[in-house]
Structure 1
Amino acid sequence: METKQTRIEIETLMKKEKDRRMFERYQAIYLHLKGKTALDIAETIGRTERTVFKYLRAYREAGVAGLQMNYSTGAPERLTKEQQEQLKQTIVSSVPHEVGFCSKYSWTLYLIGEYIKREFGPTYSLRGISKMAHRLGLSYTKPTYTLAAVDEAKQQAFTEVTFPTLKKD
């Protein structure tokens, strides 16, 4: 009788669940309670048999609460809060050549990475630097180039005469 009641409880949770991964966990338990093997369940939900066994063990040990997903906090930060603040202040208040780089005006993700490596030691991927900059409240844009001295008559002649000629060939 308990199995039928438990199955009804799990089925109710499945119907209410909006998160696909939690639904999958409930479904695995539901199918197990209906007598399906771990291999059958794995094939049904598209997971490995090992994953199904993990769900079943979590359910046996802590019930429905054991199925809840734990979120990883991620790897520990490689720079201390003080180092991050120093980095932010350097980027905001100076240009690269003032801290020893050849680039005169613009900080790039690559230059920030080189600065971090030189000053603090750790190396970061460009994506990691981008994420850190975002966490520090910094944003960046890719530069666009404009011509300093534009001769509009020459541009119009190129657009209307030269370019169509080149395009035909």
Structure 2
Amino acid sequence: MSPNVPEQLDAWRMVAARRRFDGSLPLSAMRRLEGSLVDTEGEVNYSLEFGRDDVLQVSYVELHVETALPLECQRSLARFLLPVKITQRLGLVRSEDEEAALPQDYEALLVPEDGMLKPADLIEDELVLAVPVVPMAPGTEAVESEWAATTEELDKVNPFAELARLKKQ
């Protein structure tokens, strides 16, 4: 975590003060994301901006995350960098009941009772969601081919053919 960002922040105090934090994190610090990556070389640049919507009076934290995730292409099995640029506004809620009242462009973030949030966890959550289910490097093409049966496979006796012959008798 960058030296100017604490490991934990009081969400409600940050909203009241309308604080903004900018920094970077190494990919190697993200344990939950690590399993989806080929390696952990690189870093994540981010900004966190706390505020309150003037019209709707919704407390929020807005995340801006930018990085390149090292993934393995499932077509070529080669390492490639997936550019990721995320902007996400998270509406801060105290209970799940408040979630329904959030505007459509907000994602809910349930704040613990003590009000403390870990910025690194928020950033890692967004990156985990950004990893594709089946990573494929841009420009790789699907291999579509029909594989002809070999003579050995064609000459092999079909075990169900004998059952079909017995059934006819």
Q: Is the TM-score greater than 0.5?
A: no
TM bin (shorter chain): under 0.3
More strand as a share of residues: 2
Task: Looking at secondary structure, tell me which structure has more helix per residue.
Answer: 1
Task: Give the number of the structure whose alpha-carbon radius of gyration is greater.
Answer: 1
Q: TM-score, normalised by structure 1?
A: 0.24
What is the TM-score with the length of structure 2 in the denominator?
0.24
